[in-house]
């Protein structure tokens, strides 16, 4: 059973049957966040949540992890663009910028979902939802969000 009412002090606790409710909660953050960062241990569900967010945002077709391509770009029928980054193998902010990825952030009618964002945090200064996922025991996860809006 999912406990809602997420704050920095009170994370969402959810199980596999609650993932869609978590995704719905994250979708409601689109009005004030352009960038969503996802941190947590391997296998915690970062990619799964992003894939479900993309699907619920109207992205059709195959949605894959950008582990080896660094970024996948998706569009929906409303003309909105979604960037899914995996920065696990990016070693520096300069590497990210030299690849041209900095230009993708904060584009009109777009949202960025970034796994393993630590290396590029200096670029993420406004309209950011920092999502942290962790194991909570018995097949459950905890999810907390911190919003940055300077």
Which CATH number does 12-148 carry? 3.40.50.300
Tens-digit pLDDT profile for residues 47-88: 999 999 999 999 999 999 998 899 999 999 999 999 999 999
Strand bridging mode 110-115 / 81-86: parallel
Q: What is the CA radius of gyration of the chain?
A: 15
Residue 89 pLDDT more than 80?
A: yes
* Domain limits, the chain: 12-148
pLDDT bin (cut points 50, 70, 90) of residue 9 is low
pTM of the model: 0.91
Residues 6+ apart with CB under 8 A from 146: 8, 129, 130, 132
pLDDT bin (cut points 50, 70, 90) of residue 92 is very high
Question: What is the predicted pLDDT for the residue at 6?
Answer: 46
Residues in a beta bridge with 114:
37, 85
């Amino acid at each position: 059973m999912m406990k809602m009412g997420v704050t920095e002090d009170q994370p969402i606790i959810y199980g596999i049957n609650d993932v869609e409710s978590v995704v719905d909660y994250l979708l409601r953050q689109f009005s004030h966040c352009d960038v969503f960062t996802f941190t947590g241990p391997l296998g915690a569900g970062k990619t799964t949540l992003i894939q479900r967010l993309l699907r619920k945002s109207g992205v059709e077709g195959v949605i894959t992890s950008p582990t080896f391509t660094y970024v996948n770009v998706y569009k929906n029928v409303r003309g909105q663009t979604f960037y899914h980054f995996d920065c696990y193998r990016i070693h520096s902010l300069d590497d990210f910028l030299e690849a041209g990825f900095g230009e993708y952030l904060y584009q009109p009618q777009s949202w960025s979902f970034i796994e393993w964002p630590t290396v590029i945090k200096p670029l993420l200064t406004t309209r950011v939802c920092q999502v942290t996922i962790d194991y909570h025991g018995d097949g459950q996860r905890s999810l907390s969000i911190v919003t940055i809006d300077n």
